[in-house]
Structure 1
Amino acid sequence: MTVIVRDLRPGDRSDVEDFARVRHLALPYVLWTPEAVLHRATRSHPEARYRSLVAEEDGEVVGTAQVLLAHDSPEPGQGMLNIYVHPDRTRRGAGELLVRAAEEHLTAHGATKLFAWVLDEPANRAFAERHGYRAGRSAHFLRLDLAEAALPPLPAPPPGVELRTAADFADDPRPLFLLDAETVADEPSDVGAEFTDYEAWIEETWQHPLLDRELTTVVLAEGRPVAFSVAYTDGGTRYVTAMTGTARDFRGRGLAKLAKTDSLHRARAAGHTEAHTGNDTGNGPMLAINKSLGYEICATEVRYVRELG
């Protein structure tokens, strides 16, 4: 059995489908579609030096890696490698080769600190530690049976507050960019982010193939978006909250929960039966909101870091 590592072939539909399939098997809490994989491979900012890698065993795709520089972070030299191997093809060298290729790529482009998400399972954690990575913060994946959940009723918006959808901003999404930039800057993370490039945001975020603008709820107050809950859907029955946040001056008023509750109600009405989301384990307010909506933790991942001398 021979394992090799190579770049994803964006022009080969079956190759992209294999990448998405392996990712789904290894990480079923996230939406993976060929269109989303292709979007990331072809639309990422040039400064991210983004690469999608696959590990092949005798012609079969058995492992995947997404490798990039955190170009939008205020701290330079940070690289990210997220590696997942087919659950039935582990311990055959695919992960080892993917790590080596990813690290070589990142260090060649100046990375001095490498971050990797690792599922909180003994074998995965031991693999990361053998390669010189140490555990950092953690995050939960959460699941909600949207078909059967007893969602709380949607409360009436407070005076002066209005509910809209992202579709209402199709002609000018810049107000959503400004809100996204503010909330992302405050999101708990090992790797900070600053959204300053509107055109890049349009390319990567607003035009993302999984973004469901009709199910993304936007809360308006004082004539501008002040909270939102971003919905991703896969064209089937699965629904994922990609981001929920509130502008700093409007926090503590229940607007994030209002946005997410509204989006969930409309997602269920649209026929979605399974909802997923993810939260940093230190994000108490958002974890409390999700618990109140009926979400339950279904898996945990740990952010590992390796600092290069």
Structure 2
Amino acid sequence: MTEAAIRPARPEDAPGVVALRTVVHPYLVRGVESTRRMIAHPPPGEDWTAWVAEVNGRVVGWVSAYRNSQTSEPDVGEISTLHVHPAYRLRGTGTALLEAALDRLRVIGARRVLTWSQPGSLPFARRHGFTPSRELRYSALDLRPTPPMPGPAPGVRLLPAAGVDPRRIHRVDAEASLDEPGDVPTDAMGYDIWHHEVWDNAGLDREASTVAEVDGELAAVSLVKRDGDRMWSAFTGTVPRHRGRGLAGLVKRAALHRAALGGARVAYTSNDGANAPMLAVNARLGYRPVATQWSCLRELG
């Protein structure tokens, strides 16, 4: 079998990358246009770089590396979930992609590296100096029939994100993320990077994405990204002072309803294994487990 060539990713690789992702990680949702934009216009301040493994013009591997710009913890680099087509595993393709990513993180000054691994790939991660840390659970929900639109409690308005000032939505996202469980805190989510990665994402469905307004204040949000008839719950959260009122479940159910009306047929999401409140919300909505990954950490000398 021909050896894969490793090279920097180009925007025209986007269809091949999405096709590969569908084979390796079918529960991940990022469409061709948002992938193309990510390669062509990386997020500012992250030193984002990606590589593909190519055989006879076909993309058989993918990885990206970048600086985590949303945490106050210094010098944290991240490597996206490594994609290697099953037919090209155990031939050094994954190792070559990982080494390219680690070399890039050294150049940009990262001292600590975070990545994700499927359970079956944990031996590979350990051989390369990574230690498993936290379980990430992926779930799916069939949107047929369309989930009913919930009736909000008195004083609560449910609004599509399309008609709301994005700065207001960013404030809810940033505040609700502060105590989200993870290996590093999400406590430095600036508006510019959020606007680039979230609001301007080609896959963001602003009509389905939903916010809850309580007495004129935005209190909760559920963001939806789409790729055809597949959707991803990018983030659902409630600011701390409004928790305990069921708002997260309310906005997520409304977002699912609106996405289904717009043609979405299956919804995917992920949660840290320690995020009991959101896991409970998803269970009540009918989500079923489909996969797990583990976050993995390594110090970078």
Aligned to 2:251: 259
Aligned to 1:102: 101
Cα deviation per residue 1:123-164 (whole Å; 9 max; x = unaligned)? x11111111111100111101111148x4x544212211110
TM-score (normalised: structure 2) = 0.94
- The one of 118, 130, 135 aligned to 2:132: 135
Distance in 1 (CA, whole Å) between partners of 2:32 and 2:150 is: 37
Distance in 2 (CA, whole Å) between partners of 1:8 and 1:283 is: 34
Instruction: Give the residue type in structure 2 aligned to 1:68.
Output: Y
Aligned to 1:197: 190
Instruction: Give the residue type in structure 1 aligned to 2:225.
Output: Y
Alignment CA distance shift 1:173-1:46 (3 Å): closer
Aligned to 2:168: 175
Tell me, yes or no, if the aligned pair for 1:43 and 1:203 is still in contact at 8 Å.
Answer: no
- The one of 68, 78, 81 aligned to 1:80: 78
Measure how far apart 1:197 and its partner are: 3.0
SS in 2 for 1:249: helix
Distance in 2 (CA, whole Å) between partners of 1:308 and 1:126 is: 19
Aligned to 1:186: 179
SS in 1 for 2:34: helix
Percentage of identical aligned residues = 38
- The one of 25, 29, 32 aligned to 1:31: 29
Instruction: Give the residue type in structure 2 aligned to 1:104.
Output: D
Measure how far apart 1:217 and its partner are: 1.0
Instruction: Give the residue type in structure 1 aligned to 2:141.
Output: L
Distance in 2 (CA, whole Å) between partners of 1:293 and 1:107 is: 43
Aligned to 2:58: 60
Question: Is the counterpart of residue 51 in structure 1 residue 49 in structure 2?
Answer: yes
Instruction: Give the residue type in structure 1 aligned to 2:45.
Output: E
Tell me, yes or no, if the aligned pair for 1:50 and 1:66 is still in contact at 8 Å.
Answer: yes
- The one of 17, 20, 23 aligned to 1:19: 17
Aligned to 1:40: 38
Tell me, yes or no, if the aligned pair for 1:43 and 1:204 is still in contact at 8 Å.
Answer: no
Aligned to 2:237: 245
Aligned to 1:159: 154
Tell me, yes or no, if the aligned pair for 2:44 and 2:193 is still in contact at 8 Å.
Answer: no
Cα deviation per residue 1:246-304 (whole Å; 9 max; x = unaligned)? 01100111000000111112222223211111111100010011011110000000001
Instruction: Report the count of equivalent residues.
Output: 299
Tell me, yes or no, if the aligned pair for 1:154 and 1:258 is still in contact at 8 Å.
Answer: no
Tell me, yes or no, if the aligned pair for 2:46 and 2:67 is still in contact at 8 Å.
Answer: yes
Distance in 1 (CA, whole Å) between partners of 2:124 and 2:134 is: 17
Distance in 2 (CA, whole Å) between partners of 1:278 and 1:267 is: 17
Instruction: Give the residue type in structure 2 aligned to 1:134.
Output: T
Measure how far apart 1:75 and its partner are: 0.8
Cα deviation per residue 1:38-83 (whole Å; 9 max; x = unaligned)? 2222333332110111012344321000111112210111111121
Tell me, yes or no, if the aligned pair for 2:30 and 2:226 is still in contact at 8 Å.
Answer: no
Measure how far apart 1:24 and its partner are: 2.0
Cα deviation per residue 1:5-31 (whole Å; 9 max; x = unaligned)? 111112xx2x22112211221111111
User: Pairwise CA RMSD of aligned residues?
Assistant: 1.6
Question: Is the counterpart of residue 215 in structure 1 residue 214 in structure 2?
Answer: no
Tell me, yes or no, if the aligned pair for 1:164 and 1:220 is still in contact at 8 Å.
Answer: yes
SS in 2 for 1:305: strand
Tell me, yes or no, if the aligned pair for 1:2 and 1:58 is still in contact at 8 Å.
Answer: no
Instruction: Give the residue type in structure 2 aligned to 1:163.
Output: L
Tell me, yes or no, if the aligned pair for 2:66 and 2:105 is still in contact at 8 Å.
Answer: yes
Measure how far apart 1:92 and its partner are: 1.6
Measure how far apart 1:195 and its partner are: 4.2
Answer with 17-26 or 262-271: which moved more: 262-271
Structure 1's unaligned 5+ residue stretches are none
Alignment CA distance shift 1:220-1:75 (3 Å): same
Measure how far apart 1:196 and its partner are: 4.8
SS in 1 for 2:97: helix
Aligned to 2:144: 147
TM-score (normalised: structure 1) = 0.92
Structure 2's unaligned 5+ residue stretches are none
